[in-house]
Structure 1
Amino acid sequence: MGIYLSTPKTEKFSEDGENDRLRFGLSSMQGWRSTMEDAHAALPDLDTSTSFFGVYDGHGGKVVAKFCAKYLHQQVFRHEAYTAGDIGTSVLKSFFRMDEMMRGQRGWRELAVLGDKMNKFSGMIEGLIWSPRSGDKTDQVDDWAFEEGPHSDFPGPTSGCTACVAIVRENQLVVANAGDSRCVISRNGQAYNLSRDHKPDLEAERDRILKAGGFIHAGRVNGSLNLARAIGDMEFKQNKFLPAEKQIVTANPDINVVELCNDDEFLVLACDGIWDCMSSQQLVEFIHEQLKSESKLSVVCEKVMDRCLAPSTAGGEGCDNMTMILVQFKKPSAESACASSVDKSSTASDEVQDDSKPADL
């Protein structure tokens, strides 16, 4: 059977939700792939004023994506910087924290639980698609204490995942990204990328990879991974003389902070299974057209996947797992004019001139 099925699995996991500030719809579809390795998180009420959305695209297995969908937003919420109002720092630290938590005895145990195991309570196969429910609590005490045991020296998973996260608090939007999932905002019908696709051939990525002792072959890190940043993939993070942000592959996210305004209509987070088939502008235009006749946002997401699904596996594009979250702003939080630019103080260098580059707003 290989990496592709003989016929695609077109059943979709879809969900809708809302609060007084925004509404969202999401959908995930396995498609032609032999396994579903995407996961996501959609919590419109992370706290009373904050919404959290994340897309996690796994590779080499599903467990790291599921781990992030379960724990990353909890770590953001619990970090001291979050309490102080510094969302950017809290989410940055939480990306690195995922790698730390997946090491050792407890990390090994948790990844084993999130694997392909039968749930003894429900009788269902564990999480072909994993998503925390919007009512999940984030205030449980969990310091992830060190545990001794037969797997205490577990270095972490060799599989990994991309992570693209959007956090909305009042007028502020914070986007964090590591990998090639993407966040796009529609402003007056124009698509603006709020994240950059971290591919090995980008100059900043290539420089880090080579300095850390890695190489690039056929557009892949060490000839195997077609991403330059990811959570997990611990085999690429073993240089004991370098900090986490300078390893061959790093979980270090670009952070983009945007002030929302009246012209902002909706936000899209999606894995590369969508972006391989449609440009950011094409997707924004497609969504605008669908919203003329469809009010349920999850249905709009489903239509995007049907549009992207390839008729066969011959071409490669349209054959990947697909996950998409569509967030529509109900009304601007303030009568504000759009800012002239995006705060890109934490983003990578701007040498890219393609659709993956974060644009000035």
Structure 2
Amino acid sequence: MGVYLSTPKTEKFSEDGESDRLRYGLSSMQGWRATMEDAHAAYPNMDSSTSFFGVYDGHGGKVVAKFCAKFLHQQVLKDEAYSAGDIRTSVQKAFFRMDEMMRGQRGWRELAVLGDKINKFSGMIEGLIWSPRGGDTNGRIDDWAFEDGPHSDFTGPTSGSTACVAIVRNNQLLVANAGDSRCVISRKGQAYNLSRDHKPDLEAEKERIIKAGGFIHAGRVNGSLNLARAIGDMEFKQNKFLPVEKQIVTANPDINTVELCDDDEFIVLACDGIWDCMSSQQLVDFIHDQLKSESKLSAVCERVLDRCLAPSTVTGEGCDNMTMILVQFKKPIQSSMPAEEQSPPQPTDAESKPENNGSGPE
């Protein structure tokens, strides 16, 4: 359930932006939770033909989410596979790279810097709602040099974060996900899930967890974590005889690539604080209704957050941190396929079916 405040924090961090091909709005709200553990990244012009959006939902602390928001897109850009046009490989490597980078003295130092700190002039706690803009490196990609120090043997954080990112390049949309944040596309008003919620009870996740020496109790990995995939959570990644993708908890993302077409209206990336309260189709319907009278996309996101916020903490639903990014395609996307050959976006595997009946994934 988590620790709740006596009254929710409803102040929001909101932002709008655009590129030649799309526009976006986002909003984050702490809500009833005692701390804000979400982070996000939005780069409509990551390079001349590519846009990047990411939602990161932290657990056990906020630093891993903030670390991903600051560095994951940089590592995608840095990888040689990206330069060769293989975005899929570069994204998968970037997810694994986050765990590698958070180890050792340098990783410990960066996580410490991203933790909450008191502003010595105002006395206010900084970083309650955080955007990577303030800590950006002005386009410089860090080489991540090794550092000696008292924390050189640091194995990485015990806290963790989901990661759900969407990359738009020309007519291609790539979605990579680890955890239970979710990306949904609206095609002709129909919601299609482009990611799968990685819960421990899913057969594929359960099989990996047990083979790696873990167990599931009350729907949680080793009785504690209610996610089967995440960045961080290094206590679940200590089996030296297994590769990273077969650990009890893995950062290995499901990756889904879709060719965009004229019927695609927008995509939504949001943490589970939203999906706990609305199904994919309900959210798409709500957004369509709001867009009839509201052109500012961040304002639409704010209305979703207010709609999901619970009046009390009795049930737990609507009490989580909430972050949502709405990306709207500006103009019809010219597909290379004839309209009659275009098929609905496909999920990452057979266990995750597109939502077309208003009910969320299992």
- Normalised to the residue count of structure 2, the TM-score between the two structures is 0.93
Q: CA deviation at 1:295?
A: 0.3
Deviations 1:51-87 (A, max 9, x none): 0000000000000000000000000111111111111
| Letter of the 2:109 counterpart | R
Aligned-partner SS, 1:350: coil
The Cα RMSD (Å) is 2.1
Distance 2:139 2:84 in 1: 16
TM-fit CA distance, 1:340? 1.4
Amino acid at match of 2:80: E
Q: Is residue 350 from structure 1 mapped to residue 351 from structure 2 by the alignment? A: yes
Map 1:169-248 onto structure 2 (within 5 A): 169-248=169-248
Q: What's 2:272 paired with?
A: 272
Q: Which deviates more from structure 2 when the two are superposed, residues 245-254 or residues 111-120?
A: 111-120
Distance 2:190 2:116 in 1: 41
- Counterpart of 2:233, as a letter, is D
| Aligned position for 2:81 | 81
Q: Which residue of 2 aligns with 1:26?
A: 26
Q: Which amino acid aligns with 2:343?
A: S
- Deviations 1:242-284 (Å, cap 9, x if unpaired)? 0100000000000000000000000000000000000000000
Give the gaps of 5 or more residues in structure 2.
none
1:353–1:194 Cα change, 3 Å = closer
2:42, 2:134 → 1: CA distance? Answer: 6
Matches within 5 A, 1:268-307: 268-307=268-307
Q: Secondary structure at the match of 1:180?
A: coil
Counterpart CA distance in 1 for 2:237 and 2:332 is 42
- TM-superposed CA distance for 1:331, in Å, is 1.2
Cα distance, 1:279–1:134 mapped onto 2, change above 3 Å: farther
Q: Tell whether 2:46 aligns with 1:43.
A: no
8 Å contact kept, 2:74–2:141: no
> Which string of whole-angstrom CA distances, capped at 9 and with x for unpartnered residues, describes residues 280-300 of structure 1?
000000000000000000000
Counterpart contact for 1:31–1:321, Cα < 8 Å: yes
For 2:31 and 2:135, the matched residues in 1 are separated by 28
Corresponding letter in the other structure for 2:291: L
- TM superposition shift of 1:230: 0.2
* 8 A contact 1:42–1:133 mirrored in 2: no
Correspondence 1:158 to 2:161? no
Provide the C-alpha distance between the structure 2 equivalents of 1:94 and 1:287, rounded to a whole number of angstroms. 31
CA 1:356–1:203 in structure 2 vs 1: closer, same or farther (change >3 Å)?
farther
CA distance in 1, matches of 2:141, 2:269: 29
CA–CA separation in structure 1 for the residues paired with 2:166 and 2:121: 33
Aligned to 2:342: 339
Q: Secondary structure at the match of 2:256?
A: strand
Q: 1:167 to 1:119 in 2, by over 3 A?
A: farther
Change (3 A) 1:330 1:303: same
What displacement does 1:140 show?
Answer: 1.4
Matched residue SS, 2:125: coil
How far is 1:118 from its partner? Answer: 2.7
Equivalent residue for 1:324? 324
* Structure 1 segments unaligned to the other structure (5+ residues): none
Q: Which moved more, 1:136-145 or 1:61-70?
A: 136-145
Give the equivalent residue in structure 2 for 1:99: 99
Q: Deviations over 1:289-314 (max 9, x none)?
A: 00000000000000001110000000
- Counterpart CA distance in 1 for 2:40 and 2:127 is 11
Q: Distance in 1 between matches of 2:66 and 2:345?
A: 31
By how many angstroms is 1:138 displaced?
6.3
DSSP 3-state at the match of 1:24: strand
